[in-house]
């Protein structure tokens, strides 16, 4: 048997050899049985450093300044002050609530799952935006005017490789994502790459303004 205690101060992201390979294959060392070496490892993690655990928000529980939003029959408790700071939509919504003295506010035409994703993209959580969630986020952001969630969705689209440039350009126009559009245009590094967009199914959705911007990109590339 061999054992080794790993410590971040010693190994960082590297490793320490607990036993030499030359010893393992040396029959005199006793690791070989019937011409085989069986390795069994028992790992005990005593402490973890350098990995930040994200804060978990639980919208099923009421807080000091929270109000209940009735979403598809389910109550989600949100901070009135925080959402009022983030969105003019909620400023108006909560003002109406104060006037009507309602104990909860109903939000129609939105699912609990999608609205929860929107809240997590707005609150300071570490919940990542994915290929499965960005589209519904963009749609809800337009309705609920939550710029922070919009910025996160735009950043996701800029970084992701799962969408084509032409698809991203359509989204940039549909949801007025100026940074995304600029990124896509500047990612086209040759005239051929710009012209190739004409053969994509999304090209027919391009506005005249976008086509003019792409033409300007061609002129910049041929200088």
Over residues 136-174, the pLDDT tens digits come to 999 999 999 999 999 999 999 999 999 999 999 999 999
> What local confidence, expressed as pLDDT, does residue 17 receive?
62
> What local confidence, expressed as pLDDT, does residue 130 receive?
93
Confidence of residue 189 (pLDDT cuts 50, 70, 90): very high
> What local confidence, expressed as pLDDT, does residue 84 receive?
94
Distance from C-alpha of 223 to C-alpha of 218, rounded to nearest angstrom: 9
Distance from C-alpha of 129 to C-alpha of 38, rounded to nearest angstrom: 43
Average pLDDT value for residue range 95-105? 72
> What local confidence, expressed as pLDDT, does residue 178 receive?
97
116 with 75: CB under 8 angstroms?
Answer: no
> What local confidence, expressed as pLDDT, does residue 54 receive?
60
Distance from C-alpha of 61 to C-alpha of 88, rounded to nearest angstrom: 24
The pLDDT of residue 21 is above 90: no
The pLDDT of residue 183 is above 80: yes
Please tell me the pTM assigned to this model: 0.71
Average pLDDT, the chain: 87
The pLDDT of residue 25 is above 90: no
Confidence of residue 218 (pLDDT cuts 50, 70, 90): very high
Query: Is beta strand 66-71 parallel, antiparallel or unpaired with respect to 74-79?
Result: antiparallel
**Backbone torsions φ then ψ of 106, nearest 5 degrees:** -90, 130
221 with 192: CB under 8 angstroms?
Answer: no
Contacting residues for 81 by C-beta, under 8 A, at least 6 apart: 65
> Which run of H or E residues covers position 66?
strand 66-71
pLDDT digits (tens, 9 = 90+) for 46-92: 776 666 666 678 899 888 888 999 999 999 999 999 999 999 999 99
136 burial via Cβ count (<10 Å: 0-12, 13-18, 19+): middle
Distance from C-alpha of 183 to C-alpha of 161, rounded to nearest angstrom: 13
Neighbours of 92 (CB within 10 A): 12
Average pLDDT value for residue range 27-42? 80
Contacting residues for 149 by C-beta, under 8 A, at least 6 apart: 118, 121, 122, 137, 140, 141
């Amino acid at each position: 048997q061999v054992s080794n205690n790993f410590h971040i101060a010693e190994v960082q992201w590297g490793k320490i050899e607990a036993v030499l390979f030359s010893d393992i294959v040396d029959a005199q060392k006793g690791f070989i049985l019937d011409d085989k070496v069986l390795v069994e490892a028992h790992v005990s993690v005593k402490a973890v450093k350098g990995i930040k655990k994200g804060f978990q928000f639980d919208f099923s529980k009421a807080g000091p300044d929270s109000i209940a939003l009735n979403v598809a029959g389910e109550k989600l408790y949100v901070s009135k002050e925080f959402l009022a700071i983030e969105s003019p939509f909620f400023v108006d919504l909560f003002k109406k609530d104060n006037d009507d003295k309602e104990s909860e506010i109903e939000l129609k035409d939105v699912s609990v799952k999608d609205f929860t994703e929107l809240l997590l993209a707005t609150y300071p959580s570490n919940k990542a935006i994915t290929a499965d969630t960005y589209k519904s986020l963009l749609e809800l952001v337009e309705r609920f005017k939550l710029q922070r969630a919009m910025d996160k969705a735009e950043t996701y689209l800029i970084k992701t490789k799962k969408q084509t440039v032409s698809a991203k350009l359509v989204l940039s126009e549909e949801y007025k994502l100026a940074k995304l559009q600029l990124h896509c245009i500047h990612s086209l590094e040759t005239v051929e790459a710009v012209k190739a967009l004409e053969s994509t199914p999304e090209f027919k959705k391009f506005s005249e303004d976008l086509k003019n911007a792409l033409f300007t990109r061609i002129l910049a590339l041929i200088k």
